[in-house]
């Protein structure tokens, strides 16, 4: 039994062109890996309204492949898969409380469609009655101790829906738990059971860094299931660029930016963060935005301290002026030490200024 597990494409009618291309790439990968079926674990669409608008285009993409595509409702598209919704002859729609597909491969596929104010525990008894082993798919929040570090940050972006706790999974014959809902990256664990979040199939926020992925899952008899992350080549993704700014090195900072932009990997879009100090934050921000305008990433995040406020301090101004009077060509090593000293004292004085606020 082999299948492709994807999630969280969040198709939007307003800007669906690139996202529909991502769906085409996913379907192509399913065919390339000779998958028995494609499993989409929720939030194929960003809203039920988007599903109504884009259903014909999605149907056209799915019908290119001659094998099933299983569509599981998520919290964003919970009402997009009714009995009258047409996604093509090969599409299998998860409906009701529990949907079991028996003939997709070696094991039954059990889908738990998202419903408001419902958790995994509410379906546990029904799952326990099913003959195992099983593959289970759902869209929600899996609370594992080893994931608590990133779980809080993810929930700030996507919220808390359809909770799944480790005790809910005890004694259930689940060979693989296919999840959707968390966007940032590919998450995978084998404890307490084999489980995977493939991450968003298309980046929605600047926090979703790195190439987008899907999971190829293979289950052979009693052997341990194999799960491999496959990057979606050709799908845009966000690459982080962090810069430090000082008023006496602004041009060097922009030169560094040019070098980093030149080194962007294929289909990467920059997420630029600038911290430090500036004589004129507005002008620097405008220059950055103009340079990055057509590269596809978000606006730069600029967090700069007003250097002119530091120059109001007589001692700091005297120190800075003395440093800038030095000719770095006279003694390059001494010039580097002096510049580092200026960075350190700038940092110290800025902390003092913040305390006075």
pLDDT for 122-162, tens place per residue?
A: 999 999 999 889 999 999 999 998 898 888 888 888 888 99
pLDDT at position 160 is: 86
pLDDT tens for each residue of 195-220: 999 999 999 999 999 999 999 999 99
Q: Counting Cβ atoms within 10 Å, is residue 179 exposed (0-12), middle (13-18) or buried (19+)? A: buried
**Coil, strand or helix: which one is 187?**
strand
Say if residues 224 and 236 touch (Cβ distance below 8 Å): no
Query: What is the average per-residue pLDDT within 36-41?
Result: 98
pLDDT at position 341 is: 60
Alpha-carbon gap, residue 179 to 43, rounded angstroms: 11
Say if residues 65 and 38 touch (Cβ distance below 8 Å): yes
Q: What is the largest CA-CA distance in the chain?
A: 82
Alpha-carbon gap, residue 162 to 124, rounded angstroms: 13
The average confidence (pLDDT) of the chain is: 89
Q: What is the dihedral of CA 28, 30, 33, 39, to 10 degrees?
A: 160
pLDDT > 90: what percent of the chain?
71
pLDDT at position 330 is: 56
Of 296, 269, 204, 267, whose CA–CA distance to 8 is shortest?
204
Above 60 in pLDDT, residue 332? no
Say if residues 210 and 187 touch (Cβ distance below 8 Å): no
**Coil, strand or helix: which one is 33?**
coil
Above 60 in pLDDT, residue 338? no
- Host H or E run for residue 196: strand 195-197
Alpha-carbon gap, residue 244 to 255, rounded angstroms: 12
Of 55, 37, 39, 44, whose CA–CA distance to 8 is shortest?
44
Query: What is the average per-residue pLDDT within 303-319?
Result: 66
Local confidence band at 322 (pLDDT 50, 70, 90 cut-offs): low
pLDDT at position 132 is: 81
Local confidence band at 243 (pLDDT 50, 70, 90 cut-offs): very high
Say if residues 225 and 176 touch (Cβ distance below 8 Å): yes
Neighbours of 267 (CB within 10 A): 16
């Amino acid at each position: 039994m082999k299948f492709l597990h994807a999630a969280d494409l969040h198709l939007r009618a307003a800007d669906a062109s690139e996202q529909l291309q991502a769906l085409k790439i996913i379907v192509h990968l399913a065919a390339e890996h000779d998958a028995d079926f494609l499993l989409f674990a929720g939030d194929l669409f960003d809203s039920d309204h988007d599903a109504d608008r884009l259903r014909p285009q999605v149907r056209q993409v799915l019908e290119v492949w001659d094998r099933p595509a299983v569509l599981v409702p998520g919290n964003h598209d919970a009402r997009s898969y009714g009995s009258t919704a047409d996604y093509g002859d090969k599409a299998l729609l998860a409906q009701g409380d529990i949907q079991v597909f028996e003939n997709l491969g070696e094991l039954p596929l059990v889908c738990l469609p998202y419903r408001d104010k419902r958790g995994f525990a509410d379906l546990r008894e029904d799952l326990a009655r099913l003959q195992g082993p099983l593959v289970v798919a759902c869209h929600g929040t899996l609370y594992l101790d080893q994931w608590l570090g990133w779980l809080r940050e993810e929930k700030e972006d996507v919220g808390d829906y359809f909770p799944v706790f480790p005790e809910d999974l005890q004694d259930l014959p689940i060979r693989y738990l296919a999840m959707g809902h968390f966007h940032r990256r590919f998450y995978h664990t084998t404890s307490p059971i084999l489980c995977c979040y493939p991450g968003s199939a298309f980046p929605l926020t600047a926090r979703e860094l790195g190439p987008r992925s899907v999971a190829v899952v293979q289950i052979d008899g009693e052997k341990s299931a194999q799960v491999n992350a496959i990057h979606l080549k050709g799908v845009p993704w966000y690459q982080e660029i962090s810069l430090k700014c000082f008023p006496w090195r602004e041009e060097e900072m922009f030169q560094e930016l040019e070098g980093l932009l030149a080194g962007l990997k294929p289909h990467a879009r920059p997420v630029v963060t600038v911290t430090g100090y500036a004589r004129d934050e507005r002008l620097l921000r405008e220059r950055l935005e103009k340079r990055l305008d057509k590269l596809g990433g978000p606006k730069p995040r600029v967090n700069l301290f007003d250097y002119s406020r530091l120059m109001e301090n007589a001692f700091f101004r005297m120190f800075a002026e003395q440093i800038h009077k030095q000719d770095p060509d006279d003694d390059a090593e001494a010039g580097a030490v002096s510049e580092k000293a200026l960075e350190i004292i700038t940092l110290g004085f800025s902390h003092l200024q913040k305390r006075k606020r």
